Amino acid sequence: MDIKQAVGKRVKELRNKIGISQEELADNAQLDRTYITSVECGKRNISIVNIEKLANALNVTLAEFFTF
């Protein structure tokens, strides 16, 4: 598994843990739903700025975000 897939899997895991949809996560992170889909599928090379947005929207620290 490469890093894009690992991050995507983690985003999906954290999103499911708090029980929100991709649309809700996208709204909370001020990103597009299709972007969330591509991240979760491991197809997107995500920027550090968007990682921070996702971590905040998922209510986790960056350290927790990267705990695979």
Write down the pLDDT at residue 17.
Answer: 98
Q: Characterize 27-51 residue by residue with b for buried, 16 or more Cβ atoms within 10 angstroms of its Cβ, and e for exposed.
A: ebbebeeebbebbbebebebeeebb
Which CATH number among 1.10.260.40, 1.10.10.60, 3.30.70.1400, 3.40.640.10 corresponds to the domain 3-63? 1.10.260.40
What pLDDT, in 10s, does the model give residues 15-34?
999 999 999 999 999 999 99
Examine the pLDDT at 1 and tell me if it is beyond 90: no
Examine the pLDDT at 13 and tell me if it is beyond 90: yes
Cβ(39)–Cβ(29) below 8 Å: no
Domain boundaries, the chain: 3-63
Q: What is the pTM of this model?
A: 0.94
Write down the pLDDT at residue 36.
Answer: 99
